[in-house]
Structure 1
């Protein structure tokens, strides 16, 4: 069993990293069977993001002392192989944004928690939103929009008043950010096959950026948001951790 260990730059995580590598060895990411992320939720999410465009690798996250790490297993040097073999895999949906910028450049970014379109200045942004290829786009104004996975639904989305989604469900949250006026769907639950086409109105004067946990693309003209059909992300969780996470999010479907 080959393992790649990744760690937060914080001293406690770096110290643990040295101990794990000394005991279990260190494999390259391409040759590894598992990735172990040491730190907290941010480290786990960065590891998942880093693996999205390569061969799928399950991530076993462990939290260091002082980290909240609600997505992480307890830090323990012994019995790592057995813990990973007996851990429960949690397959996570991956969001995709195909983005066109003002200069015509095109890029694709991915997200585990949420993709957020947000204004770059104090003035409101305006969007034309088309759902699943509909012929009548809705024009909305406000600070932005967020498309959110079940895993991300208890974070930033909840601070916006968005709905909490059960882990394992085929659902996404579409949450408006200070929309004026508020549209009926500004806190909506949608199926994970939805395709959102978003055009920024007057992007030169009302600039908008796309954000994920690890990436920001400024000055966008339009974006197509959906669930990725080819990227996969898998967490490996101890049963006790999964039970706690499920209790917080809701029953796995």
Structure 2
């Protein structure tokens, strides 16, 4: 079995990397059967993003001391091969954004947990937001919007008062950031078949950027946000982590 290890720069993760790679070897990700991460959720998400270019490459995350790891299994050096074979596979949806920047440049980016549209300057962002094919756009003023997947709904989305989405559901959540008129806006739960169109009003004077855990693109004029129709990533969880995720999301195994 070939394993590619990825570790955060923290000393605990680097020490575990040395011990595990000495025991099991270190293989380039493109040639590996599994990617094993050492750290917390940030390291796991970086590896999951890496697998977008390597379809069906599963990620087994292990949490090191002082790291936050909702997505992570416990760190143990012994028995890794057996744990990888016994772990349950959780297929996670991928969000996609088709973006047009000022000047007409177009880009596409992907996210595992959330996509954030947010103001770049002191002035509030002015956004025209529409669910494609579902009526007239809504104009809102505020710090921005967050589109999240079920696995991402426990994080930043929750700090903004957004809903917790059931793990494995075909849903997305749209949550506002400091919306200027809160009575005119509330978090929305959408089917993951929906497409969200956002246009930035007065983009030159109220610039907006789009951000994921892996990149930030400034000066957005408009963006189309949706679940990618042909991409998923695979997270491996053992029994302990699976029970914790089910408890966190209020779902029985």
Instruction: Tell me the TM-score normalised to structure 2 length.
Output: 0.95
2:55 and 2:233 in contact (8 A); partners too: no
5+ unaligned residues in a row in structure 1: which ranges? none
Task: Say which SS state the counterpart of residue 5 (structure 2) adopts.
Answer: strand
**1:227 corresponds to:** 227
Deviation of 1:19 (Å): 1.3
C-alpha spacing 1:183/1:190, structure 2 compared with 1 (3 Å): farther
Corresponding position of 2:123: 123
- The more displaced of 125-134 and 139-148 is 125-134
User: How far apart, in 2, do the equivalents of 1:227 and 1:206 lie?
Assistant: 27
Q: Distance in 2 between matches of 1:126 and 1:182?
A: 14
- Match of residue 13 from structure 2: 13
Aligned counterparts of 1:158 and 1:206: Cα–Cα separation in 2:
26
Distance 1:30 1:236, change over 3 A: same
Sort the Cα spacing of 1:144 and 1:52 in 2 relative to 1 into closer, same or farther, 3 A.
Answer: same
- SS of 1:93's equivalent in the other structure is strand
By how many angstroms is 1:232 displaced?
1.6
Between the aligned partners of 2:135 and 2:163, the Cα distance in structure 1 is 27
C-alpha deviation, 1:68, in angstroms: 2.5
Which structure 2 residues correspond to residues 17-56 of structure 1 after superposition, within 5 A? 17-56=17-56
Conserved? CA contact 1:94–1:231, under 8 Å: yes
Deviations along 1:98-138, one digit per CA (max 9) or x if unpaired, are 11110211111111111010011111111112212346222
The answer to whether structure 1 residue 251 and structure 2 residue 251 are counterparts is: yes
Structure 2 residue runs of 5 or longer lacking an equivalent are: none
* Partner SS state of residue 52, structure 2: coil
Give the drift of 1:47: 0.7
Report what 1:240 is aligned to: 240
Asked if the contact 2:95/2:110 (under 8 Å) is kept, the reply is: yes
SS at match of 1:228: strand
Q: Report the secondary structure of 2:173's partner residue.
A: strand
Shift, 1:184, TM fit: 5.6
Deviation string, structure 1 residues 156-186 (Cα, Å, up to 9, x no partner):
1111111111111111111111223236652
Equivalent residue, structure 2, for 1:90: 90
2:193 aligned residue:
193
In structure 2, the partner of 1:205 is 205
> What is the Cα deviation at residue 76 of structure 1?
0.8
In the other structure, the counterpart of 1:68 is: 68
| 1:239 to partner: Cα distance | 1.0
Alignment partners' CA distance in 2, 1:136 and 1:162: 23
1:56 counterpart SS class: coil
RMSD after superposition = 1.5
Asked whether the 8 Å contact 1:36–1:61 carries over to 2, the reply is: yes
**Displacement of 1:187 after TM fit?**
0.9
